Structure formats: structure tokens, C-alpha cells
Amino acid sequence: MPRFIYLHGFASSPGSRKARFFAERFRELGMGLEIPDLAEGNFRNLTLTAQLNVIARVSRNEPVSLIGSSMGGYLAALYAARHPSQIEKLVLLAPAFSFASRWPETLGEPTMAEWKRTNTLKVFHYSEGREVELGYQLVEDARQYEAYPDVGQPVLIFHGRNDTVVPPEYSVSFAERHPAERHPNVRLRLLDSDHELGNVLDTMWIETEEFLFGRKLDSLVDGGQRH
């Protein structure tokens, strides 16, 4: 039986809307979707390395396909690049490529300096519905990882054209680094949505099901761009 793992986004949880949506679709197919808590209850000390270790433990070095949202999408790509014979396929939802460099771009240098000085940044945690503390180790750890992992497996990317959290240009850059002549398996779908992709869940599932299980689509829905 093939295995599938869903990786939630930053300041999210296994109970996120997209995680629950995909889990229900897999249940309808009589299949399981594993959704680990990437922070393992310790968001304050979150790092990419620790989350990659969670993926390693959950996957048990067995063949799996990964579905990742935002930061989870970036983690999926990082893990796949490091485990080419284990990871079979990737479905990335608004993946947070260039994770480390986007923090200063988003927060500005004064806030970054204060975060580093105090080792505390208050961020809104969507799962908990409140502000929580995050240590600076997340940024320090993230700097060791490449902005655009060199993934060789089949990849399907969904990204909202109106995404202001992770602009779609990052996924376009990833696709351009995987040109069709060398990576015919990388498909980018730009959809009329934002970072949450909440209004295109059914569209994404139709194409995800075809991508993962080889079921032929009658037609493309909600037109987009392919690479």
C-alpha cells in the first residue's frame, strides 16, 4: 500500500483546513494520509532541521509521497532532494522557497535585530488562535539550507497568483530552475487564489489525484500555467 504524508505550514498544525480536506479525500479513496505535528509541541524552539528529522522518523525510510503546504512544501522539497530514492512524488501548495532570506525581507532589519537580541518574536499561531513566542534559532538554522532544492522526483506545484505571504514568483523561480528539457516532471499551476488556496481546494484535489494515482483528467480546471 503506498504511503502519503502531509506536511503542514508555519504556525499551523495537523488540524489545519487543508490538512483536513486532503485527509478526507484520501479517506474517500480508502487510503490513509499521515499528518505529523512538525513542531512536536515545541514551537518556541522550532527549526527546519528538527522538522526534517520528524519527516525522517514518520517516513521510516520507506517509499512515500509528500504533500506540503507553505513551509511544509519547502521542507518536502528539501527532504526529497536529500532522499531521491525514497520520496516518490511531491505535491507542493504555495511552497515557501527561499525561506531564510524572506524573513528580513518581510520583517525588516530592525525587527530582525531585535529578534536576534531578545531571542523572541511574537507570531500569530493559526492553530492556537493566539500570539506565541518563537526563538531566533529558526532563522539561524534555516541559513544552512538552499533556497531552491534540486529535486529530481515528479513535482506538482499549486500557487495562488494573489499570494502576498509567499509570492508566486518563488515557485516560478523554482520551475525555471527545473527546465522542461531536463525536468519534464515539474508542473506549476498558477491559480486565481491567495496563500490559503481555500477557494481552489477541489481544483487542487482533482489534479492531485490524477498526479498521484495516474487517473486521466477529462480537462483542466481553473486554467493556469504549466512548466
Asked if 54 contacts 78 with a C-beta cutoff of 8 angstroms, the reply is no
Asked if 48 contacts 142 with a C-beta cutoff of 8 angstroms, the reply is yes
**97-143: pLDDT as tens digits:** 999 999 999 999 999 999 999 999 999 999 899 999 999 999 999 99
Closest CA to 91 of 165, 170, 158: 158
State the CATH number of the domain containing residue 88.
3.40.50.1820
User: Strands, DSSP E only, in the chain?
Assistant: 3-7, 64-69, 87-93, 121-125, 130-134, 155-160, 186-191
Confirm whether 37 is domain-assigned: yes
Confirm whether 113 is domain-assigned: no
Confirm whether 225 is domain-assigned: no
Confirm whether 135 is domain-assigned: no
Number of domains in the chain: 1
Average pLDDT, the chain: 93
Which grid coordinates belong to 53?
528529522
Confirm whether 120 is domain-assigned: no
Confirm whether 28 is domain-assigned: yes
Closest CA to 4 of 47, 35, 43: 35
pLDDT band at 223 (very low <50, low <70, confident <90, very high): very low
What backbone torsions phi and psi does residue 92 show, to the nearest 5 degrees?
-115, 125
What's the domain range around 166? 3-99+146-213
Confirm whether 42 is domain-assigned: yes
Between 59 and 181, residue with greater pLDDT? 59
**151-205: pLDDT as tens digits:** 999 999 999 999 999 999 999 999 998 877 776 789 999 999 999 999 999 999 9
SS3 state at 40: coil
Confirm whether 67 is domain-assigned: yes
